[in-house]
Structure 1
Amino acid sequence: MTVSRTYPHGVSCWVDTDQPDTAAARGFYGRLFGWTFTSVMAEDAPAQYFIAQLDGQDVAAIGSESGSPAWNTYFAVTDADESAAQVVAGGGTVVSPAEDAGPGGRTATCRDPHGAEFRLWQPYRRPGAQVVNAPGSWNFSDLRTTDRDAAAEFYSHVFGWRYLSFGAGFDGMISVPGYGDHLAATADPDIYVRQADAPAGFADVIGNMSVATGVESSHWQVTFSVMDRDDSVTLAESLGATLLEATEHNWAALASLRDPQGAQFVVSEFRQPA
């Protein structure tokens, strides 16, 4: 029996991208990650939204948007209206107030005090991504911010986050207390066995917060898991993407890419240290 992956309050749960040409975007990401797509909107609807799937399981989405293409990160909340009010109380901005997104859930678009945009998701029928961390699926979302201390205070106010440091490049880890226990009780019963050698609290981690550099503005960076970083870069470039940067870090080989319509994202290949 397959157990649906659910997300407690404050956990990143979904990603989608706004694209002017959804057909071209589906062609690009379908080839790159092996996604298939299902439309959840009527053909004559003014906006389109396509759920991307791997092996029949929801992993991400592509929506129609005439503005600047981007990847968006959603955070699960128990009450989108209340969380939007907490965003304002914490010094952030509600760009689009909470509204129902059909039968799937209720959403609001927000910005933190430093301009990083994110979205709230109160689930009805769609709890979020059903495949994560596998090649071709969403790996995690990290915050790149111009003021880490102020950002930490803001997101703690809105979502109740805590922050952990494990050293060796694992500073500024974003933690949702109890998330590991939730995973162990639902979709990932072996998580504590797999992470037996991990530091205490590691199973509660949902992402990382780091300082933006140079002219980089505050933003949420979306990363996808791939089997081979270099092969994925070669394929992405052949499909019209641009390589921005390739780096190696603890446990991973990364590449930052810009898709043919301008949305930036990262691919990550897990590499077991020697």
Structure 2
Amino acid sequence: MAAFAQSAPCWVDVQLPDLEAGKRFYGELFGWTFRPDGDRRADALGDGKLVAALAAKKDGRMPTAWGVYFATDDIEASVSRVRAAGGQVITEPLPAGRHGVLAQAADPGGAVFGLWQAGDRAGFEKQNEPGSFCWTEVHTRSKDRVDPFYEEVFGFRCADVDDSPLDVPDTDEHRVDFRTWSPPGTEPGPETAVGGRSVITAAFPAELPSHFLSYFNVADCDDTARTVQRLGGRVTEPPLDIPYGRMAVLQDDQGAEFAVLQEPVS
């Protein structure tokens, strides 16, 4: 079982109204295959390796959304740090069979994330390859409260970077306020970053809440966006070039949002 660095993103899952429809959508989009994990969940596999999970929502009031989990070797201590730093614990530490122990929390801006203490499942068996997780970032309106929160809870080393699109004018209106997170004990910067924080600007609807956006690596961003539309999903941010490749923000056919990233050709 490969271990994950403390505080690194180690797992993603999506809560959906219709599990079977989700399997059809993501199976065709990313080439995933599935195996049952209980009555209401399915593990997603890419080339036979764990990449994510799909779950049927137990309550229609739950959001249809992708969730990300961060690795911890002491989930009780992590939950205590969440509270001390001004966050909210939504789900107290809860065993997930032999897989491990999970908890859910929200940062001071309201963005929800998970904590994962590994049992016999560390998390991803494949990442940073086409059809698998490659990045996550929190989008918030409360950076002055959120930035110190993630440093205190996860020990992240932070670096402010220019993440602005390459094909728009370099003006204050288009510039992105972006910060990367590197694990404890590393030198902060793009080479070590495992996630980040982006500020929601006035250009977005006022009702858009703080949230995590997780990315999947793809071989062709434009083709993936077209496939999402063909499968009944939506393109919420069309493909555009950023310093790290070509990305798009998409929704599946049930409304769960995610992003894709095509890495630049080296």
Question: TM-score, normalising length from structure 1?
Answer: 0.85
Give the number of aligned pairs: 246
- 1:102-181 aligned within 5 A: 102-167=97-162, 169=164, 171-178=178-185
Deviation at 1:174, TM superposition (A): 0.6
Inter-partner Cα distance in structure 1 for 2:242 and 2:163? 10
Structural RMSD (CA): 1.8
Residue 51 (structure 1) shift: 0.9
CA gap of 1:73–1:168, structure 2 versus 1, over 3 A, is closer
In 1, Cα distance between equivalents of 2:107 and 2:20: 31
Moved more, 208-217 or 153-162: 208-217
Aligned position for 1:254: 247
User: What is the distance in 2 between the residues matched to 1:64 and 1:112?
Assistant: 25
Match of 1:209? Answer: 197
Per the TM alignment, residue 256 of structure 1 is displaced from its structure 2 partner at its CA by 0.9
2:37 corresponds to: 40
Contact map agreement 1:175 1:207 (CA 8 A) in 2 = yes
Which residue in the other structure is 1:267 paired with? 260
Unaligned runs of 5+ in 2: 165-175
C-alpha distance in structure 2 between counterparts of 1:123 and 1:163, whole Å = 25
What do residues 101-157 of structure 1 show as CA deviations (whole Å, max 9, x unaligned)? 111010011111110000000000110111111111111111111122321100111
Name the CA distance, whole Å, in 2 between partners of 1:259 and 1:123.
29
2:216 corresponds to which of 220, 224, 247? 224
- Separation (CA, whole Å) in 2 of partners of 1:164 and 1:75: 19
- Cα pair 2:33 2:46 within 8 Å, conserved: yes
2:18 counterpart of 1:18: no
Separation in 1, partners of 2:232, 2:28: 12
- What is aligned with 2:27? 30
Give, in angstroms, the shift of residue 168 of structure 1: 6.6
User: How far does residue 253 in structure 1 lie from its aligned partner after superposition?
Assistant: 1.4
Aligned-pair identity (%): 35
Matching residue's letter, 2:183: V
Equivalent residue for 2:74, pick from 63, 79, 84: 79
Equivalences for residues 39-78 of structure 1 within 5 A: 39-41=36-38, 45=39, 48-65=40-57, 66=60, 67-78=62-73
Return the alpha-carbon distance in structure 1 between the equivalents of residues 160 and 113 of structure 2. 24
Query: What do residues 212-256 of structure 1 show as CA deviations (whole Å, max 9, x unaligned)?
Result: 123332111011111111111111111110111122211311111
**Contact 2:72/2:117 (<8 A) preserved:** yes
Alpha-carbon shift at residue 33 of structure 1 (Å): 0.3
Q: Distance in 1 between matches of 2:230 and 2:4?
A: 36
Q: Deviations over 1:185-219 (max 9, x none)?
A: xxxxxxxxxxxxxxx75432101211012333211
Q: Distance in 2 between matches of 1:32 and 1:139?
A: 16
**Stretches of structure 1 lacking an aligned partner (at least 5 in a row):** 181-199
User: TM-score scaled to structure 2, two decimals?
Assistant: 0.87
The 3 A distance-change label for structure 1 pair 62 and 176 is same
